A and B are shown apart, each in its own frame.
Chain A
């Protein structure tokens, strides 16, 4: 624990951690110090000059976002002098800011508007300036209107911190503006359209595309939830209006490096209301799918599952919620009595890697190892992992990458080892032992002939000095990575490609009968698929195919029975994300059409079958195994193409939202 410091702000006693800035300390006491440029979690830059405060004993006002707390400090955030200073700054900024708050989308959440209100400034006392900069709105995601910009640098800094480096100031002084490298539109500047700049902008200079006249902040209902589109499972803030999702923002706590979402998480919600949604159950009649009632659909499902019995296969994606997965497992084991129940997790991860991965805290970790993974914001493969690690590096953490191929993340690493990953882990272990780490006998024996490379030595040195290191590993390298935790105190986390992979495995969706691969290769008579399964052709040998999904897919068209399910944004439950955090998914809008949440469908079928499943509180099995040495080897059979897989489980989301624009552009560029 860091030392605590006692100080007074506006007469209020505050206990703050040593090293904290005045602006954060004030917040502890519920005191807001006005600012336009401060971003919690990042270093203050003192650019906007609004956060000036008076400190007893100091001749001049000080900047609260860069001044650290000191024992006995007496701070006044509301003195006559600092209020005058602030008013002057707002007055200056307003002289070059449009005064069209009555139609401005950001009205209500615009910091400048709020401060102008506080200081009772109707119009600037200075000569009005207008630059007439061009608006950048050639893409459907981010609209940039530099005429509203207050040059606070928040967007530039968040873009830089996460390593995308698209935005930067152009020129200097009053005439400067935020622009891309050659003042080109975003879509020609390597932008990933994650929208971090939207979350950062205090005014109306950067905004979601297609937001015009779709409501302002006070019209929205705000709900915290979690994104299920990839292995990261990021926190999101969902805004809804009239029962529809209008926008999504990053939802992690302010100040956390995890406050990031990608374009899929931010804009994929378009797909909630789309022509591709399945709105009612469908059954096959000859060559066509015909609408049927839920009653009839459930009856058919129950009958077919009952008759196929043991020879039924159940497969699901891992972006369903724990509650859904739990009941799914019960439907298979208790109602249908089959052991063939498996999830897409088995394509890329083994049970142990998901069960025995540690929980990790991104904001605490000071050394990251990324082994056998290629997270990428640009390809949108576990993009948050890439972004958050880059942010943590900017905040002082270190990175070691180990990969057989080139990765973009490697260029941000302090040590990057290119070559066989398992062997590299072995070398690091050897170097750690040489530094005095105590190893089990078998490990020492296995590493006898190994020579640590210079890079492995460097990595080992870094790990030895680390306070809370985290190893992110491909599931296939989990056992090899876990060996390191026998030598030093480190977290080891296998990173899956689906949001609730850890949860789905904890809920028991790991087969004891036929595997996913066996089932889709004709191993079962009846097949029940749940979610956007990465499969486009009906498996051979399957007499009856039930497809349960939110959108019409290639596979659904070939099904005998199609059951419409709710999307994650329409479902309620929990997930366990890749960091081992249990996260709450909220029902932000009602399920579209007649679609129902997965678990409700399973329960209804079980009732129809005469063996109703009781909904009980789900509990993940406690998974604590004593770590033991396993050889430094890569597990075979878990290789998938992460990019193709991620796209395939998100196919409906991408193809029925504005993300299609991006997809087509990327295709055209190739």
Chain B
């Protein structure tokens, strides 16, 4: 279950809204951070912390595709291969990730360090090809640069 500190964090989120139900989405993110993904336990913990029905928590969590619905690596790479990024070489980056890290679409490295999700536009066309690594944005990517960046995430 969730630690005291995490529960306190959820309490603080709750305080920002008129009803506990409104805090559900951010609370799910907190639980996801703690459990790694939206596991049964994670959703139960949120239901308990917000005093909401488990069915409702699960219904909400499964509705949103941006939550992690299966176990994933510690760091999530969201690489764009839409038009701008594709023209500027995103496909080469996909190959690079596959050859160097063994990463494929929706896959996770053997050491559990990275997961890859291929995105359709993350709004970084001016800096294409671009990716999100967890919540950090990186643009103007090359194979060399992406290797360097990933080196910084252990």
Interface set of A (CB-CB < 8 Å, partner B): 160, 165-172, 176, 179-182, 189, 411
The secondary-structure label for the interface of chain A is: loop
Interface set of B (CB-CB < 8 Å, partner A): 40, 47, 51, 53-59, 62-63
Nearest residue (CB) in B for A167 is: B55
Partner of A172, one of B51, B56, B58, B62: B62
Partner of B55, one of A166, A171, A172, A176: A166
B63 touches A180 (CB 8 A): no
B63 touches A172 (CB 8 A): yes
A165 touches B53 (CB 8 A): yes
Q: How far is the CB of B143 from chain A (nearest CB, A)?
A: 36
Residues of B within 8 Å of A180, CB to CB, are 55
A165 touches B63 (CB 8 A): no
B53 touches A181 (CB 8 A): yes
Residues of A within 8 Å of B47, CB to CB, are 181
How far apart are the CA atoms of A66 and B19 in the complex, in Å?
A: 24
Nearest residue (CB) in B for A189 is: B55
Residues of A within 8 Å of B63, CB to CB, are 169, 171-172
* Sample of 19 A–B contacts (CB below 8 Å): A160-B56, A165-B53, A165-B55, A166-B55, A167-B55, A168-B55, A169-B59, A169-B63, A170-B62, A171-B62, A171-B63, A176-B62, A180-B55, A181-B47, A181-B54, A181-B55, A182-B40, A182-B54, A189-B55
7 A-B pairs with least C-beta separation: A165-B53, A168-B59, A181-B54, A168-B55, A181-B55, A172-B63, A171-B62
Q: How far is the CB of A254 from chain B (nearest CB, A)?
A: 26
Residues of A within 8 Å of B57, CB to CB, are 181
How far apart are the CA atoms of A171 and B54 in the complex, in Å?
A: 14
20 more A-B residue pairs beyond the given contacts A168-B55, A172-B63, A181-B57, with a C-beta to C-beta distance below 8 A = A160-B53, A160-B56, A165-B53, A165-B56, A166-B55, A168-B59, A169-B59, A169-B62, A170-B62, A171-B62, A171-B63, A172-B62, A176-B62, A179-B55, A181-B54, A181-B58, A182-B40, A182-B54, A189-B55, A411-B51
Q: How far is the CB of A633 from chain B (nearest CB, A)?
A: 35
How far apart are the CA atoms of A669 and B148 in the complex, in Å?
A: 57
Residues of B within 8 Å of A189, CB to CB, are 55
Residues of B within 8 Å of A172, CB to CB, are 62-63
Q: How far is the CB of B82 from chain A (nearest CB, A)?
A: 21
Q: How far is the CB of B24 from chain A (nearest CB, A)?
A: 12
How far apart are the CA atoms of A182 and B53 in the complex, in Å?
A: 12
Nearest residue (CB) in B for A169 is: B59
How far apart are the CA atoms of A587 and B85 in the complex, in Å?
A: 76
**Residue among A165, A168, A176 with most chain B CB within 10 A:** A168
Q: How far is the CB of B52 from chain A (nearest CB, A)?
A: 8
How far apart are the CA atoms of A189 and B59 in the complex, in Å?
A: 14
Q: How far is the CB of A387 from chain B (nearest CB, A)?
A: 15
Residues of A within 8 Å of B55, CB to CB, are 165-168, 179-181, 189
B56 touches A168 (CB 8 A): yes
**Residue among B51, B54, B55, B59 with most chain A CB within 10 A:** B55
Residues of B within 8 Å of A170, CB to CB, are 58-59, 62
How far apart are the CA atoms of A170 and B62 in the complex, in Å?
A: 6
Residues of B within 8 Å of A160, CB to CB, are 53, 56
Residues of A within 8 Å of B54, CB to CB, are 181-182
Nearest residue (CB) in B for A181 is: B54
Residues of B within 8 Å of A181, CB to CB, are 47, 53-55, 57-58
How far apart are the CA atoms of A168 and B59 in the complex, in Å?
A: 6
Nearest residue (CB) in A for B63 is: A172
Q: How far is the CB of B21 from chain A (nearest CB, A)?
A: 11
**Residue among A160, A179, A180, A181 with most chain B CB within 10 A:** A181
Nearest residue (CB) in B for A164 is: B53
How far apart are the CA atoms of A371 and B53 in the complex, in Å?
A: 26
Nearest residue (CB) in B for A180 is: B55
Q: How far is the CB of A324 from chain B (nearest CB, A)?
A: 43
How far apart are the CA atoms of A635 and B47 in the complex, in Å?
A: 40
How far apart are the CA atoms of A168 and B62 in the complex, in Å?
A: 11
Q: How far is the CB of B35 from chain A (nearest CB, A)?
A: 15
Q: How far is the CB of B151 from chain A (nearest CB, A)?
A: 37
Q: How far is the CB of A222 from chain B (nearest CB, A)?
A: 33
How far apart are the CA atoms of A166 and B58 in the complex, in Å?
A: 11
How far apart are the CA atoms of A64 and B37 in the complex, in Å?
A: 41
How far apart are the CA atoms of A292 and B58 in the complex, in Å?
A: 62
Residues of B within 8 Å of A168, CB to CB, are 53, 55-56, 58-59
Residues of B within 8 Å of A176, CB to CB, are 62
Q: How far is the CB of A118 from chain B (nearest CB, A)?
A: 32
How far apart are the CA atoms of A179 and B54 in the complex, in Å?
A: 11
Residues of B within 8 Å of A167, CB to CB, are 55
How far apart are the CA atoms of A193 and B139 in the complex, in Å?
A: 56
How far apart are the CA atoms of A170 and B63 in the complex, in Å?
A: 7
A182 touches B58 (CB 8 A): yes
Q: How far is the CB of A94 from chain B (nearest CB, A)?
A: 25
Q: How far is the CB of B62 from chain A (nearest CB, A)?
A: 5
How far apart are the CA atoms of A172 and B57 in the complex, in Å?
A: 14
Nearest residue (CB) in A for B40 is: A182
How far apart are the CA atoms of A170 and B59 in the complex, in Å?
A: 5
Nearest residue (CB) in A for B54 is: A181
How far apart are the CA atoms of A176 and B54 in the complex, in Å?
A: 17
Q: How far is the CB of A61 from chain B (nearest CB, A)?
A: 27
How far apart are the CA atoms of A165 and B40 in the complex, in Å?
A: 17
How far apart are the CA atoms of A169 and B63 in the complex, in Å?
A: 8
How far apart are the CA atoms of A411 and B47 in the complex, in Å?
A: 15
How far apart are the CA atoms of A346 and B62 in the complex, in Å?
A: 53
How far apart are the CA atoms of A167 and B56 in the complex, in Å?
A: 8
Residues of A within 8 Å of B62, CB to CB, are 169-172, 176
How far apart are the CA atoms of A182 and B62 in the complex, in Å?
A: 11
How far apart are the CA atoms of A359 and B151 in the complex, in Å?
A: 75
Q: How far is the CB of B37 from chain A (nearest CB, A)?
A: 15
How far apart are the CA atoms of A176 and B47 in the complex, in Å?
A: 21
How far apart are the CA atoms of A536 and B55 in the complex, in Å?
A: 42
How far apart are the CA atoms of A365 and B62 in the complex, in Å?
A: 37
Residues of B within 8 Å of A166, CB to CB, are 55
Q: How far is the CB of A609 from chain B (nearest CB, A)?
A: 60
How far apart are the CA atoms of A166 and B53 in the complex, in Å?
A: 8
Residues of A within 8 Å of B59, CB to CB, are 168-170
Q: How far is the CB of B47 from chain A (nearest CB, A)?
A: 8
Q: How far is the CB of A431 from chain B (nearest CB, A)?
A: 26
Nearest residue (CB) in B for A170 is: B62
How far apart are the CA atoms of A416 and B98 in the complex, in Å?
A: 60
Q: How far is the CB of B59 from chain A (nearest CB, A)?
A: 4
Residues of B within 8 Å of A182, CB to CB, are 40, 54, 58
How far apart are the CA atoms of A176 and B40 in the complex, in Å?
A: 18
How far apart are the CA atoms of A411 and B63 in the complex, in Å?
A: 27
